[in-house]
């Protein structure tokens, strides 16, 4: 059975985490079903994985190519938070602290931005729908503590970084490092 395959469950779970929209699920399943032929009569896990890659290689990777180095750094900080806290939501303050660890570790004044500038970059990522709030924004809620979710998975981030023009080496190394920044 297809649902017994762990990779199929992972693809469907990731898809559900990103979008609860039935239309996007329909597109995913139709892309997978389009591979069914007389000589290939059943949909396989590989079909679903390939369909998922087609769905996710979309515009998000292209959006990442247009980001500033600061915005790329914030996405990498979010990636590390997702790895550490196993996809739990994060807030601006957590991302800012993770970014500061990178800046302090590398002792780079190049990446040393004032907090309001970093907040503006964070908000820009939200406008581009690369991150989204977990719940509707309350009038009284402090923006830096609002829980957010990254809408890119690690594969999308790493693929986009490989194609990012003139990505600084230390930023790329930070993205590929694991929990060594703690």
In order, the DSSP letters of 57-75 are SSHHHHHHHTS-HHHHHHH
Residue 74 and residue 43 share a domain = no
Domain range spanning residue 40?
A: 2-56
Q: Sorting pLDDT into bands at 50, 70 and 90, what band is 76?
A: very high
Residue 122 and residue 82 share a domain = yes
Q: Give, in order, the Cα–Cα distances in Å from 108 to each of 18, 35, 112, 120.
A: 34, 49, 7, 20
Residue 66 and residue 51 share a domain = no
Residue 83 and residue 49 share a domain = no
Question: Residue 90 burial (CB < 10 Å; 0-12/13-18/19+)?
Answer: buried
Q: Sorting pLDDT into bands at 50, 70 and 90, what band is 139?
A: low
Residue 79 and residue 46 share a domain = no
Q: Is pLDDT of 51 > 80? A: yes
pLDDT per residue as tens digits for the range 161-173: 888 878 888 888 8
129 phi, psi to nearest 5 deg: 60, 35
- State how far the Cα of 128 lies from the Cα of 144, in Å rounded to an integer: 18
More confident residue, 154 or 1: 154
Residue 116 and residue 42 share a domain = no
Residue 74 and residue 148 share a domain = yes
Q: Indicate the residue among 12, 32, 56 that finishes a domain.
A: 56
- Other C-beta atoms closer than 10 Å to the C-beta of 24 total 14
HEC string for 166-177: CCCHHHHHHHHC
Looking at residues 42-58, what average pLDDT do you find? 84
Residue 18 and residue 68 share a domain = no
Number of structural domains in the chain: 2
Q: Sorting pLDDT into bands at 50, 70 and 90, what band is 140?
A: low
Lowest mean pLDDT: which of 3-17, 103-117, 149-163?
103-117
Residue 75 and residue 43 share a domain = no
Looking at residues 76-86, what average pLDDT do you find? 93
């Amino acid at each position: 059975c297809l649902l017994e395959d762990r990779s199929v469950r992972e693809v469907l779970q990731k898809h559900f985490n990103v979008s609860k929209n039935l239309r996007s699920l329909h597109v995913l399943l139709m892309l997978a079903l389009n591979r069914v032929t007389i000589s290939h009569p059943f949909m396989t896990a590989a079909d679903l994985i390939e369909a998922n890659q087609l769905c996710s290689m979309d515009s998000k990777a292209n959006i990442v190519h247009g980001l500033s180095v600061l915005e790329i750094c914030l996405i990498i900080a979010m990636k590390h938070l997702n790895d550490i806290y196993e996809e739990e939501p994060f807030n601006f303050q957590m991302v800012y602290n993770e970014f500061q660890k990178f800046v302090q570790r590398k002792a780079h004044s190049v990446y040393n931005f004032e907090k309001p500038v970093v907040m503006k970059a964070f908000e820009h990522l939200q406008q581009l729908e690369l991150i989204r709030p977990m719940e509707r924004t309350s009038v009284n809620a402090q923006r830096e503590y609002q829980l957010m979710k990254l809408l890119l998975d690690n594969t999308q981030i790493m693929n986009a970084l490989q194609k990012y023009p003139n990505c600084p080496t230390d930023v790329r190394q930070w993205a590929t490092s694991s929990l060594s920044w703690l």
